[in-house]
Structures are given as structure tokens and as C-alpha cells.
Amino acid sequence: MGFRCGIVGLPNVGKSTLFNAITAAGAEVASYRFCTIDPNIGIVPVPDKRLENIAKLIHPKKMIPTTLEFFDIAGLVKGASKGEGLGNQFLDHIRNVDAIAHTVRCFENENVAHDFGSIDPIRDIEVIQTELILSDLQTLERRKTKAEKMHRVGAKEASLELEVYQEVQTVLNQGKSARILHMTGEKKTIFSDLHLLTGKPVFYVANVDQKELRGEGSCLKAMIEWAQKEESKVVIICGDLEAELAELEEKEREEFRKELGLGGSSLERLVQVGYEILSLVTFYTTVSSELKAWTVSKGTPSPKAAGKIHSDMERGFIRAEVISFSDFMSCGSDHVAREKGLLRSEGKDYLIRDGDIVHFRFHV
């Protein structure tokens, strides 16, 4: 699994259109509020040209890419945390995602209603951020009440929990996201266990029309400036256009995107940003004629990466035989790479790098 991504936003901003464009799942799309009621869930293979290039050299019987899981929940509205609309019912569905794609409407369409009657991406972002903060405060209050009861009966761990909860509550009450906090040690573990929505990495998806794509509108510019101030990433998509492109052959899609100045599909751009903000890397294994891609955090030690494949491999780790993707492509095989001294033997302290092709040696 690459990572899990939750798609949030106001009603009618194009979340389900985006979901369909990246998953080809056929989720219902309509121009009225709460078209999405039950959360849509889609698992898609990660586009990976390196995996394809390795396969061309070794001709595996089976090629398995890493995958992404997307959750598209009902549109959130102002007051969702107090019971307005439907979206807040489903926020718990994305408490365990790794990142949030906050979809924002940057297109005019008189046939698609807007909750506030006008297009204003900054206002819309602030509405959603407020609802996520309020939802987190509710979560925090429940956990705090439980910790206070435990503290009264003498539970030692409750004291540190309450300290963390107070720090988080202070930040949220200031209208800020919990992700600005940087905790370490036991505090970090307690914080992570809260699964706060505002504690997760966020990137924005600007759903634009073709006028904005041509640089003739003001919404996208305002949104990019906002994101830059908070040091967030923006992925630009044209939801309706992506839906149309999905009907074309791959070659035609690529040519069309080049004409519009779009680098890669919406899925490829989402993957790139997601991997960046989560600091993820991909490594590859070739065992029993099976070529497989794996995703781990940057800085993962080789035994832990082996454990991603099987716990026995981590437990009985001996060494990792590693060759970089570029070296492998220039050599054409493990045999040639070994002769040239490019296939390295690495121990327990080796940190997996993006593009590594690894064979783990272990004994249980």
C-alpha cells in the first residue's frame, strides 16, 4: 500500500468527479448537495514507469505495483460539527488516512449550485478548516474526559495524556491545525493515537475550468498564494476534462494533456504530491519471477523494509543486496551489476533509498 488519502470539501466542488477520474470507480456525480452519502472507497495501482522499465528487462511472470486507497466522503457544510448536513457523520471514515486531499472549487457553472452562491476558494478553505478543527475538539473532549477519570483513580499514564491533550486543545482553540505541533517520544505516540484530522498532512486540489487553466481567471491564483503562505502543495485538475479524458485511449490522453500544459494524469500528480508530503520512497523486489513495488517512509532501515514483506524477514534479517534503479538499467541484469561492483551488500543500518532494487537475505 502506498498511502491512504481522504478527499474532503464542500458540496458540489467536484470531489466525486475527482474520485472517478483517479479511480474509474463510477461514483454518482450530480449537481445537488449530498449526492455522496455512503463514503466511496477506491483502491488504485500507483503509476510507476520504473516498475515498467524493470519489467521490460527481466520479463517477470507477475508484476505488482503498490496501491493507493482513496476515500470520498459526503460534502461538509458550515455547521457540520453541530449536526448540519451529512458530511460530519463520515469524518470518522477518514480518521485513519495518511493524508487529506482538500478539494476546492475554482470553476463557474450556473448549473452547479454553490452553498454560498458565489465562488471564493479562500472562504471555502476556511469553512472546511473550521469544521475539521471543531470535529477534532469534540474528539479531544471525549478523550480528555476519559483521561481525567483515569487520572483520578491514580493511572500514571493519564497525567502525560492530559498534558498532550491540553497542548493540542490550546492550538485548536486558536483556530490553528494540530499538525503545527511537533511532539517527540511518548508524547508523539499519544498524539498519533488521537488520529486528529487537522494533525494529518494536507494538500489542496484546485478543481478548475478551462478558463482558469488558460490563466484567465482569478480563483486559482488566489488559492496558490494562500497555499504558499501555509507552505502547502496544490494539485490542479479540471474534473470534467479528466472525466472526458478517461474515455480516450492512453496516447490520445497524453497528447491532450500536453496541449493543455498538464504534466501527467491527475492520479500521477496526486501520487507525486502525496509521496512528497508524506516523505515516502519506493523500492522493488524480484523473487520467484515476481516483480513487486513496495512503499516505505524515507529513512526506513533495511530490516524494517524487509518486515514490510514478511515479519520473518525482519526477525531473521542477515543482509540486503541492493542495486539502484539507474545502475540496474545501465547494466541490464543483476549478474552484470555484480561483475561491475554495483550490487552492494548492506547491513542493518542501511536506509532504503527511492528506486532501490533489493534482495533480502534472512534466516529464521
Q: Give per-residue pLDDT as tens, 325-358.
A: 999 999 988 889 999 999 999 999 999 999 999 9
- Answer for the pair 48, 67: CB distance below 8 angstroms, yes or no: no
For the four alpha carbons of 52, 234, 12 and 1, in that order, the dihedral sign comes to positive
Helix (H, G, I), strand (E, B) or coil at 224: helix
pLDDT category at 226 given cuts 50, 70, 90 is very high
Residues 38-89: tens digit of each pLDDT: 567 888 888 899 999 999 999 999 999 998 888 887 667 665 555 554 545 6
User: In Å, what is the CA distance from 364 to each residue of 11, 282, 311, 344?
Assistant: 53, 26, 10, 23
Helices (H) and strands (E) in the chain, counts: 14, 12
pLDDT at 116: 74
Residues 274-310: tens digit of each pLDDT: 999 999 999 999 988 899 999 999 999 999 999 999 9
> Given a cut of 70, is residue 36 above it in pLDDT?
no
Helix (H, G, I), strand (E, B) or coil at 294: strand
Residues 122-180: tens digit of each pLDDT: 999 999 999 899 989 999 999 999 999 998 888 888 999 999 999 999 999 999 999 99
Residues 183-196: tens digit of each pLDDT: 999 999 999 999 99
pLDDT category at 28 given cuts 50, 70, 90 is very low
User: In Å, what is the CA distance from 19 to each residue of 29, 119, 340?
Assistant: 10, 21, 46
